[in-house]
Structure 1
Amino acid sequence: MSSSSLLPSGSKPSSSSSAVSTDVKSKERPKKRLKFSSREVLDLCWSRNEFVRFPDLLARQEAKLEAEGAVLDKENRMWAAEAYRAYVQEHENSEAEFRISNTVDFQPHPPLDFCWTNDYVSGISSISHGAHKPHGCDCDDDECDPETCSCIQKMKDLDPETWKEISTFPYDQNGNLNPEVPVNSVIWECNDLCGCSDMCRNRNVQFGRKYGVELFKTDNGRGWGLRTTEKIPARAFVLCYTGELLDGYGTVIKERGDMYDKVGQGYLLYIDAWHVKLETLYRPYNVQRKKMGQEPLPLNSDEIKRKAAIWHRQWKDPMLTVDATFWGNISRYINHSCEPNLTIYPVYFGPEAGYIIRPYLVFFSTRVIPKGEELTFSYSNDDREDDESQPGQAAGSSDLDEEDDAVEQSASQFPRSLSTKGFKGKAQRKKLETAEDDSELETIGAQKCLCGSKKCRGKFWM
């Protein structure tokens, strides 16, 4: 079978293929290994396994050619890349530019091994935990008044310490975060149930990506990455992380984590924020104290963290995990950096905003990002790993066992790392510090860092 069989009869690359670059500098072919498109991996997700799309058919054609030792010629590589780009643009909720570029090898595009979704895909019962009745504000103007809007008030209720001194919208007139909004704080946007129009300043992420990006093959072994095709302002919304919602403590996440370790890659991002604990543990604990005739404790105090954990020793975060392995969008290609230009905020919008434990994980720029710079965030989130104080544990104490230490985290930080292992306890962090070769790093679920930044730590959690 010749490589030309990939092209439909008589078809040529479309005129828009100028957005695809396929110049080749190296002809090295990647080594065969377990892939996300492998049958044993696909069997982990029935919805993906049963769903066949045009890209799946294209991927099968390419796999067959590879098995026969054929190499796609330039024309077919451009057509395949253009087909991938068209698939993204057809399904993405965005009019912004999207390109694909590979000047490293013959791979025309990233593996076609996931289904596109602009939302969360959920099939778990725990999603109802912490549910509130979805509501909208009663504002009847195009733009809400931050002093009276119930959506702004909801934001203050969820995170009173952060928002008590802020009396404006989270976004400025250009849709960027206001400077006074603290990093990683919760944001509650107006939604379809609100009386305001789409012109309201409290609507932003729900309209989708607005800055151009390019999917490109990195030249230092980090696989595919994402970079901007235009200048992005500081504190701007860039992308929303989507995928399957899974129970963070269930057997499914354990099975998938083990399989992803074999693949050598994963797309798990934990949903875990201070306001979730506030709503599901600290406030219920104060209600219990009132019933017992005791004074409620300050919600941001170390005392309530410690006593609430003792009161409900078996309590676990109703923690969900977003898995972008089988369902997701282009945010799954954002690589790690020890000096990232993106950070994550928990944002609520849309008809599912009533579920407190399932905010969207949204990437915002931490500074001005020049055109052509790669988009990155910290998988390990090492700034929080320097915090020694854990919920249910006073600073400097060590009465929690290692399992608790690996699960609990500082209530003032967000989010968990992009890792199947979650936040790391002291013992695990010590192992990372002392690990030297690849085998030691692999044993503890870490790997060498190739980010190349000035602040590179040399290794990070997978």
Structure 2
Amino acid sequence: MPPVSPPSSLRSPPTSGARTTYRLRVSDVSKIVCHRLQNSTEEYLVRWKIAGGSTNTKSTIYSWHCISELSKCLHYVQEYIEKLPKSRPDAAFVAIPAAASRKRKFSSDSQITGSSSSSGNLTPRDWAHVSREPSVISIASTSSTTSEAAPLQAPTVYNGILKRKEGRIVAKRSNDPAVQEVDARKLPDQFMLKDAAQAPVSAAERAIQATFQAKLRSVKNTEWENHVDNTAPSLNFTFISDFVLGEGVYRSDADAHVGCENPCRPNMGQNLGCEYPRDCACLEYAAVDKDLLKEGDMARYAQYLEDWDTDGFLADSRGLPKRFPYRVSKDRIVPSTLMKFYLEQRYPIYECNLNCDCGKVCKSRVVQKGREVPLVIFKTSNGRGWGVYCKEQLVKGEFIDTYIGEVLTNEETNRREELAGKDKASYLYSLDKFCGDDPNNDLTKDNCYVVDGQHMGGPTRFINHSCEPNCQQYTVSYNKHDLRIYDLAFFAVEDIPPRTELTFDYMDQDEAELEDVMRKREAKAADPAYRDKQRCNCGARKCRWYLWE
């Protein structure tokens, strides 16, 4: 496979004496609207934001720029390319295998560098006769030093001038009569669109791939691959390692968590920490295992059931038989797995925390230690976008990873949904497990926090939906008194062979009989209310046909 070569601006910073590449700031760009091939170099037409506005007016400034100048704005280029017709005459598709993604070397044969004239200005040279529209450009440097480097063939600018300032390019309006004014509302014009239909985007795609790969380096044990096309996952996404709390969201400090004490010790249970589930304080609100009840437990259990009617998951179960959440093998190579009691009933999982006396070896610490399995983000071949698979065999009950993102108030979530439309729901996860269990009735579905993983999150953000999933999400808490924020952990609900796509049910519904599914599908087909709803493409035998009810 030929190496993928990003622009030189995506490499290490220039050394002393090297030519400086000036770049556009993200905050200055409104969008990319066109592209062309100019002197064997891909260029992209930028609509500028002026004075904080992004409205396309008659006098809005537009200008052409090469990829190196857009290295900080590549997500805009990516959004533009994704909207282009799929039949455009691009360079041949180059597969990106997961195994090679971290070791890819970049050749220097496609470097895009910028240089300045001896006056410090970028010169137009022969730009006028190759442009479809008459235009004038002036890019002035703020530096008083001179350079003997060869002049750079400057991009075309409409309705203004460009200046170089502190390593960046800025657009300015100008009263200079040499500036050719055009009606920006008509850009791109028919000639630009005709050129764009024939121009490749391969240099931009390589730069986008390299930029995503750089983002992924901060995520342990994660790779990506694409054997379908030349695209990369969205650059408008930031990998994070924990929740990012939005405005108005509060979480108690870890130091304030209540941990288990006597009798829990690190050397108990074959040096696996907590051994007595009846007495472990971390399991104070854990579900009672009815199969282990003894005659002496019945009066206490009756009180527990009475409390359950009012307190739900917060009913005090101390002294009653419960189960620790995980089964630990004597062979340390074999992963811990979620007990059937939790796996099937979806009870909240309570893990020990930093203030517990059981120590770091306690068997009740799994999710908090983070993901151990290797994941690959890959482009699906069935039109379902990006998906995730594990490179290793997963056994039933094995922990995979958590779903993280921005934690928002319900009000902020509603605002984002109104702006983004129906597709936004695919990335939102309500933290409503304990709604109705708050003794003060303060926590409801209308004010619970919501996790938004669209633009910030981890690899699980790319897991696709299925009506018959092989993974499920579970509530995992390290602070039994915090009902608002807890982890959303994915566990395998069946043995999953290597390289099998991981899926979960976005609607989180219980499994239904095939006859019931088919009957509901027939009813939906006849219901006009479903005509505009988003179709489900999971392909499962029990597919519900629609992603959202």
State the alpha-carbon separation in 1 of the partners of residues 388 and 327 from structure 2: 26
Q: Is the 8 A contact 1:6 1:62 kept in 2?
A: no
Residue equivalent to 1:213: 375
Residue 509 of structure 2 corresponds to residue 382 of structure 1: yes
Amino acid at match of 1:87: K
Residue number in structure 2 paired with 1:461: 548
Cα drift, residue 344 of structure 1: 1.3
Gap change, CA 1:165 and 1:461, over 3 Å in 2: farther
What is the aligned partner in structure 2 of residue 102 from structure 1? 226
Change (3 A) 1:259 1:163: farther
Alpha-carbon separation, structure 2, partners of 1:56 and 1:99:
23
* Helix, strand or coil at the partner of 2:401: strand
SS in 1 for 2:371: coil
**Pairing 1:160-175 to 2, within 5 Å after superposition:** 160=315, 166-173=321-328, 174-175=335-336
Q: 1:155 aligns with which of 283, 286, 292?
A: 286
What's the CA shift for 1:231?
Answer: 0.8
2:338 to 172, 177, 180: 177
In 2, Cα distance between equivalents of 1:383 and 1:347: 19
Note the C-alpha offset of 1:191: 1.4
Shift of 1:201: 0.4
Against the structure 1 CA distance between its residues 460 and 175, is the aligned structure 2 distance closer, same or farther, given a 3 Å change threshold?
same
| DSSP 3-state at the match of 2:286 | helix
Determine the C-alpha separation between the residues in 2 that align with 1:315 and 1:338: 27
CA distance in 1, matches of 2:521, 2:318: 38
1:87 pairs, out of 193, 215, 218, with 215
- Which of 495, 515, 524 in structure 2 is aligned with 1:434? 524
Match of 2:305 in 1: none
d(CA) in 1 for partners of 2:250, 2:396? 33
Distance, in Å, in 1 between the alignment partners of 2:48 and 2:429 is: 23
- Larger helix share, 1 or 2: 1
Contact 2:521/2:545, CA 8 A, preserved across alignment: no
Q: Distance in 1 between matches of 2:425 and 2:285?
A: 37
Cα 1:77–1:146, aligned 2, differ >3 Å: closer, same or farther?
Answer: farther
User: 225, 229, 235: which is aligned to 1:112?
Assistant: 235
Q: How big is each residue's C-alpha offset from its partner over 1:326-382, in whole Å with a ceiling of 9 and x where there is no partner?
A: 221111111111100111111113xx6642121111111111111111111111233
Q: How does 1:250-289 map to 2 (within 5 A)?
A: 250=411, 252-261=412-421, 266-273=426-433, 275-278=434-437, 280=438, 283-284=439-440
Q: Secondary structure at the match of 2:355?
A: coil
> Secondary structure of the residue that 1:277 maps to in structure 2?
coil
* Cα shift readout 1:165-185 (whole Å, capped 9, x = no counterpart): 753310111321012224321
Larger-gyration structure (1/2): 2
**Residues 345 and 430 from structure 1, CA distance in 2 versus in 1: closer, same or farther, beyond 3 angstroms?**
same
Q: Tell me: CA distance 1:331–1:140, structure 2 relative to 1, closer, same or farther (3 Å).
A: same
- Range with bigger deviation, 367-376 or 160-169: 160-169
Say if 1:135 and 1:55 are closer, same or farther in 2 by CA, change over 3 A.
farther
Native 8 Å contact 1:126 1:318 kept in 2 = no
Deviation at 1:196, TM superposition (A): 2.6
Q: Which amino acid aligns with 1:267?
A: Y
Q: Distance in 2 between matches of 1:368 and 1:284?
A: 42
- What secondary structure, in the 3-state scheme, does the structure 2 residue paired with 1:460 have? coil
| Cα distance, 1:161 vs structure 2 | 9.3
Coordinate RMSD, CA, aligned: 4.2
After superposition, the C-alpha distances for 1:34-58 in whole angstroms (9 at most, x for unaligned) are xxxx999xx9xxxxxxxxxx99555
What is the count of residue pairs matched by the alignment?
A: 335
Question: Matches of 2:470 and 2:424 in 1, distance apart?
Answer: 25
- TM superposition shift of 1:7: 4.3
Structure 2 partner of 1:426? none
1:163 and 1:229 mapped to 2: Cα distance? 41
Q: 1:161 to 1:122 in 2, by over 3 A?
A: same
CA positional deviation for 1:154 = 4.3
Deviation at 1:236, TM superposition (A): 1.1
Partner of 1:241: 403
Distance in 1 of aligned mates of 2:401 and 2:75:
26
Contact 1:237-1:364 within 8 A present in 2 as well: yes
Q: Which runs of 5+ in 2 are unaligned?
A: 13-32, 34-46, 53-69, 85-195, 268-272, 289-312, 329-334, 514-518
Q: Answer whether contact 2:435 2:445 (CA < 8 A) is retained.
A: no
Could you list the per-position Cα deviations for residues 76-123 of structure 1 after superposition, in whole angstroms to 9, with x for gaps in the alignment? 867754653453341x3x4x3x2212121110x201112222221113
Residue identity opposite 1:359 in structure 2:
Y
Structure 1 CA distance for aligned equivalents of residues 429 and 341 of structure 2: 27
> Structure 1 440/183 Cα, relative in aligned 2: closer, same or farther at 3 Å?
same
Give yes or no for contact 1:55–1:112 (8 Å, CA) kept in 2. no
- My pick for the range that moved more, 179-188 or 139-148, is 139-148
The DSSP-based 3-state class of the residue aligned with 2:473 is strand
Structure 1 residues 376-412: Cα deviation after superposition (integer angstroms, max 9, x where no partner): 11112333999xxxxxxxxxxxxxxxxxxxxxxxxxx
Please show how residues 272-311 of structure 1 align to structure 2 within 5 Å. Answer: 272-273=432-433, 275-278=434-437, 280=438, 283-284=439-440
Taking a change above 3 Å as real, the CA distance of residues 101 and 276 of structure 1, as seen in their structure-2 partners, is same
Task: State the one-letter code of the partner of 2:538.
Answer: C
Aligned counterpart for 1:197 among listed residues 359, 367, 371: 359
C-alpha contact (below 8 Å) 2:429/2:450 kept by paired residues? yes
Gaps spanning 5+ residues in structure 1: where? Answer: 12-31, 33-37, 44-53, 286-311, 387-428
1:231 is aligned to: 393
TM-score (norm 1): 0.61
**Shift of the alpha carbon at 1:266?**
3.9
1:310-335 CA-partner distances (Å, limit 9, x unpaired): xx9x9655421111122211111111
Assess, with a 3 A threshold, how the Cα gap between structure 1 residues 82 and 194 changes in structure 2: closer, same or farther: farther
Distance 1:202 1:435 in 2: 47
- SS of 1:383's partner is coil
Q: Structure 1 residues 85 and 195 mapped into 2: Cα distance closer, same or farther (>3 Å)?
A: farther
8 Å Cα contact 2:394/2:492 also seen in 1: yes
- The answer on whether the counterparts of 1:268 and 1:323 sit within 8 Å (CA) in structure 2 is yes
In the alignment, does 2:259 pair up with 1:136? yes
Q: Is the 8 A contact 1:132 1:356 kept in 2?
A: no
Q: 1:451 to 1:384 in 2, by over 3 A?
A: closer
Q: Which residue of 2 aligns with 1:338?
A: 467
Distance 1:186 1:63, change over 3 A: closer
Task: Determine the C-alpha separation between the residues in 2 that align with 1:344 and 1:200.
Answer: 23
